[in-house]
Structure 1
Amino acid sequence: MKPFAVITLILLISGFSDVTAQPVTEAPLKETITQLDRTYFEAYNSCNIEKQAEMYAEDIEFYHDKGGLTTSKQDLLDSLKKNICGKVTRELVEGSIEVYPISEYGAVEIGFHKFHNNEEPDAISEPGKFIIIWKKTEATWNITRVISLH
């Protein structure tokens, strides 16, 4: 039997043939992360760079499928100010947020959102997937990693 066939057989026997992640059922954590998402994107949509800066960790890693990797908080904020402010708004796809706890760190948020070009109000916006890693400190939650896929 070929190695791939053996692995497939093992997965079928062990019940892992249809494994999918399940969203966390811890309502308080999901409510917290959903509120943080709302707060951040209200700042994003209103060009409140100070609030966005407050919510990003100093060691931010922002992965964008089209723009690449940004690891400088200041470069990210400068890019948002230059390319997003007044030009783009974000809309969450309702009901799409999933939240998973990360023990002794924080949480992972996964969801879908749309971005609207304010200069082309009739343009159709397709949902894109996003992943945000939130770190919980004693005083606050911060965004440490973002993966933005369009």
Structure 2
Amino acid sequence: MSSFYKPILTALFYLAQVGVVMAQDSMNYRITENYVPDDLDLYQTIVKLDQEFFGYYNTCETQLELYADFYAEELEFYHDQGGLSTSKSEIVQSTKQNICGRVTRHLVPNSIEVYSIPGFGAVEMGLHYFINADNPPNEPRKVGRFMIFWKEGSEGWKISKVVSLH
């Protein structure tokens, strides 16, 4: 191959990869086909809380206290790789050591579903993926499922249970 074509082919290969990633990001994934929230106000509240919580998660090197405040004191965190954690302080410490400044969470657009749990709060289900700064930038993204149980109480909405599947 002549030296003239090599940079052109490299650029085309790069653009094809960027196009695939952009197409993946713009896909309209759903957990349940044709989902429509039963309670639009509740749905909007939980979506906003998700944005706030993961905004703090993604900037936890400077926002760790705000991130931690979303968790209830009685917390259960089920993770398909890390197992069960029931200590809020250990979860926050683990986030500080392993996530802050290194990993960001990205929500798959339009994937959140919210269901009311009378007398408790709500459950949120959705799809997301994580980008680790230590990994190559063009590494394929693995979309995972999550469930967050939001408990509504005198202190507002708190996360009481999380199921995170990668």
Q: TM-score range by the shorter chain?
A: 0.7 to 0.9
Q: Over the residues paired in the alignment, what is the CA RMSD in angstroms?
A: 1.6
* Matching residue of 1:83: 98
SS at match of 1:71: strand
Q: Letter of the aligned partner of 1:68 in structure 2?
A: G
Cα pair 1:23 1:100 within 8 Å, conserved:
no
Q: 1:41-95, CA deviations, whole angstroms, 9 ceiling, x for partnerless residues? A: 0000001210111100001100000100000000000000000001100000000
* Matching residue of 1:3: none
Q: Whose helix proportion is higher, 1 or 2?
A: 2
Q: Letter of the aligned partner of 1:24 in structure 2?
A: P
Is 1:60–2:75 an aligned residue pair?
yes
TM-score, L = length of structure 2:
0.75
Tell me the matched-pair count. 131
Distance, in Å, in 2 between the alignment partners of 1:66 and 1:33 is: 26
TM-score, L = length of structure 1:
0.83
* Matching residue of 1:96: 111
The correspondence for 2:48, drawn from 26, 29, 35, is 35
* Matching residue of 2:25: none
Q: 1:122-143, CA deviations, whole angstroms, 9 ceiling, x for partnerless residues? A: 2221110000000001341000
Gaps in structure 2 of 5+ consecutive residues? 1-32
Gaps in structure 1 of 5+ consecutive residues? 1-19
Distance, in Å, in 1 between the alignment partners of 2:104 and 2:122 is: 25
Distance, in Å, in 2 between the alignment partners of 1:25 and 1:82 is: 39
